[in-house]
Amino acid sequence: MIWDWDWTLEILPDLLTQGLLVTVQATLGGAVLAFVLGLFLALLRRSRRAYISRPVGAVTEFIRSTPLLVQLFVVYYVLPDFGVSMTALTTGIIGLGVHYACYTAEVYRAGIDGVPKGQWEAAVALNLPRHWTWLSVVLPQAVRRSLPALGNYLVAIFKESPQLSVITVVDVMGLARELGSERFRYLEPVTIAGLFFLLIAIPASILIRRMERRLDH
């Protein structure tokens, strides 16, 4: 038998408790950061002051055009030089969050642009203050429109989180790599990790597609 069942059963519990916990933390942490920071970036990007909107646009474009892995290196190696010391997991969450904030910013932007002009005009007609127009009229609609795309990015963050293993985070993939390197045999741990991602990501994307259809109506 090529597949080592004994070993599989031995490592499975660790992967599914210890590893899973870290993967979930990384995903949720990264997603929360991406969703919140992304909204701010979207608003800055829409600023009428060019000296704000231009640089923000350029930086988000730059971050989207360069690899997450290298950005993780930057946070991991460079920040400590400036006296900021964090755990590898926190570093990873920041890297993931900032990277994907540059994507969600575009999602929010499209959502904001998608709010019909009539809504703005109605708010003016009601003499609503500008910040209140944003808070009570525009953003709720924009965020609602953005939900399916944000859901997709949540899954994307989940699927990209294994990259944190490169900066020594011991998530499912990190643990699988560790276990694999002990025996120099990766078949079982990496296959388990792969199946684990499949089993979560596929139902999640199906769920999001449902949600998308529901919101369309």
Partner 1 sequence: MTTINPCGAELPGTLGEAMPFLCRGAVVTLQSTLGGSVIAIAIALVVGLMATSRLRSVRGVARAYMEFFRGTSVLVQLFWLFYAMPILTGYQLDKVGAGILALGLNLGAYGSEVVRGAVQAVPPGQREAAVALNFTPYQRMRYVILPQAFVAMVPPMNNLLIELLKTTSLLSVITVTDLAYQGRLLVNSGSDQLVVFALMLVIYFLFSYLITLLMRYVEGRAARVVGRERPRRRRSAPAVEGAR
Binding site for partner 1 (CB under 8 A): 2-3, 61-62, 64-71, 73-74, 77-78, 81, 103, 106-107, 109-110, 152-153, 155-156, 159-163, 165-166, 173, 176-177, 180, 185-187, 190-191, 193-194, 197-198, 201-202, 205
- Rounded distance between C-alpha atoms, residue 19 and residue 45, angstroms: 37
Which one, 42 or 139, has the nearer CB to partner 1?
Answer: 42
- Rounded distance between C-alpha atoms, residue 116 and residue 20, angstroms: 42
- Tally the C-alpha atoms within 13 A of residue 91's C-alpha that lie toward its C-beta: 26
Q: How far is the CB of 117 from partner 1 (least distance, A)?
A: 19
Q: How far is the CB of 154 from partner 1 (least distance, A)?
A: 9
Q: How far is the CB of 9 from partner 1 (least distance, A)?
A: 18
CA angle 123, 120, 42 (to 5 degrees): 120
Q: How far is the CB of 181 from partner 1 (least distance, A)?
A: 10
The b-or-e profile of 125-156 (16+ CB within 10 A means b, else e) is: eeebeeeebbeebbbeebbebbbbbbbbbbbb
Which one, 57 or 138, has the nearer CB to partner 1?
Answer: 57
Which one, 32 or 195, has the nearer CB to partner 1?
Answer: 195
Which one, 93 or 123, has the nearer CB to partner 1?
Answer: 93
Closest Cα partner for 119 from 102, 144, 101?
144
Q: How far is the CB of 131 from partner 1 (least distance, A)?
A: 26
Number of Cβ atoms within 10 Å of the Cβ of 57:
17
Which one, 5 or 118, has the nearer CB to partner 1?
Answer: 5
Q: How far is the CB of 161 from partner 1 (least distance, A)?
A: 8
Cα 53 to Cα 4, 34, 61, 117, 139, distances in angstroms: 56, 19, 12, 21, 18
Which one, 137 or 180, has the nearer CB to partner 1?
Answer: 180
